[in-house]
Amino acid sequence: MRIGALGQATRVDPETIRYYERIGLLPAPVRRANGYRAYGPAHLERLAFIRHCRALDMPLADVQRLLHLLDHPLDDCQDVDRLIDTHLAHVQGKLQSLQALAQQLEQLRGRCHGQHATAECGILHELVAAAQGESCVCHGNSVQTSQKGRRLRGACPESGYEPE
């Protein structure tokens, strides 16, 4: 099968398939006399495996490690367990961050109700205040200061943003 058919069968863009070949996730296919790549069932199966791992938000390095373990069936399975445990912890951390972000956005959303001019918009006032280094409803009453005690403009401690 040609790269377009492989891409359609797995819903992976042909450029991504070529990239996976370049970095060694997919073995290079044989070339036909006309120069076209010829992919077989093993390519289809491997690419479907990669796509599924990527759908689970696994980084390519982890996918590469899993493929290595898949290619070495006598290796210890504990490496797979550790990899999944690490990825699960990462996903749980992202969930906590997203929940905190949702709370911040809810607090910010609570600053403006009804129809009025944007000059009176509580959300915009909060965002401008935070950009100027003042406390904001979404990050509490803390204001970030420099080592010399000066307020830092545009700094919001929980956002991780620090002006240069």
Tens-place pLDDT, residues 101-126: 999 999 999 888 878 888 889 899 89
Q: With H, G, I as helix, E, B as strand and everything else as coil, classify residue 114.
A: coil
Task: Name the pLDDT band for 164 (thresholds 50, 70, 90).
Answer: very low
Find tokens 């969930």 and name the residue.
95
Q: Assess whether pLDDT exceeds 50 at residue 160.
A: no
Average pLDDT, the chain: 85
Q: What does the angle CA 146 – CA 147 – CA 152 come to, to the nearest 5 degrees?
A: 5
Task: Name the pLDDT band for 140 (thresholds 50, 70, 90).
Answer: low
CA distance 120 to 115: 10
Tokens linked to 35: 């120069």
Q: Assess whether pLDDT exceeds 80 at residue 156.
A: no
| Structural domains of the chain, with CATH | 3-73 (1.10.1660.10), 86-159 (no CATH)
The pTM (predicted TM-score) of the whole model is 0.69
CA distance 50 to 58: 9
Tokens linked to 11: 């819903």
